[in-house]
Amino acid sequence: MTKQPVSVNGVVRWKDVGLADDVTAETHETKVGVLRQEIGEVLRSVRQRQGRTLREVSHSARVSLGYLSEVERGQKEASSELLASICTALDIPMSQMLREVADRLAYAEGNFIPDTVPSEMTEEFTREVRQLRGGTAAGAH
C-alpha cells in the first residue's frame, strides 16, 4: 500500500492507495448484497404473516415459483416492475415494503435515530391531503 496526495476543497491530504481500493470495492458489493437480502426478508416476512405459500403469491404475481423463492432468499435482484407485482400480490403498498427495508438497512448501518413523524403532524398532513383531493383546500387560488 502506498500514499498519494489528494486535494479536497483546497486541502491536500494523503490517501492510501492499493489495498484500500480493493477493500472499498468489497464493502460496496456487501452493501448491495445486503439490500437484496433485506428486500427478500421483508417480502418473505409479509407473506408468512399472511399465512400464504410461495405458490399462491407466485401465481398471483405472475412470476415463477423458483424466481420468487430466489428473490426471497436474496439471491436475485428483482426489478421495480417485479417488486410492484409481488407487492400487489401481497396486497401491500410498495412504499411500505421499501420503508421497512430502509429501516432495516439504517439499523444495519448503525443508524438508530428514529425516522418518524409526530402523530400530530401526520394527522394535519392527512387532513390537508383530503382537503386538496376534495377541492376544498383553504387558500387555493
Closest CA to 72 of 116, 49, 41, 112: 41
Mean pLDDT of 7-12: 62
- Residue 113 is given by DSSP the state S
Residue 34 has pLDDT above 70, yes or no: yes
Percent of the chain with pLDDT over 70: 65
Q: Which residue has the cell 418518524?
A: 116
The answer on pLDDT for 12 being more than 90 is: no
Distance in angstroms (rounded) separating the CA atoms of residues 132 and 141: 12
Q: What is the pLDDT of residue 19?
A: 52
Percent of the chain with pLDDT over 90: 47
Q: How many CB atoms lie within 10 A of CB 136?
A: 9
Query: Which pTM does this prediction carry?
Result: 0.60
Q: What number is the average pLDDT over the span 113-121?
A: 65
Closest alpha carbon to 37 in 105, 109, 84, 95: 105
Q: Which residue has the higher pLDDT, 14 or 97?
A: 97
Check residue 78 and report its DSSP letter: -
More confident of the two residues 52 and 135 = 52
Distance between terminal CA atoms of the chain? 64
| CATH architecture for segment(s) 35-109 | Orthogonal Bundle (1.10)
Are residues 67 and 86 in contact, defined by beta-carbon separation less than 8 angstroms?
no
Question: How much is the average pLDDT of 19-34?
Answer: 51
- The cell numbers describing 17, all together, are 492507495
How much is the mean pLDDT over the chain? 79
* Encoded amino acid at 66, one letter: G
User: Do the beta carbons of residue 26 and residue 55 sit within 8 Å?
Assistant: no
The residue-averaged pLDDT of 19-48 equals 71
Least confident window among 49-63, 92-106, 115-129: 115-129
In the predicted structure, residue 141 carries a pLDDT above the cut 50: no
**Grid cell listed for 118:** 409526530
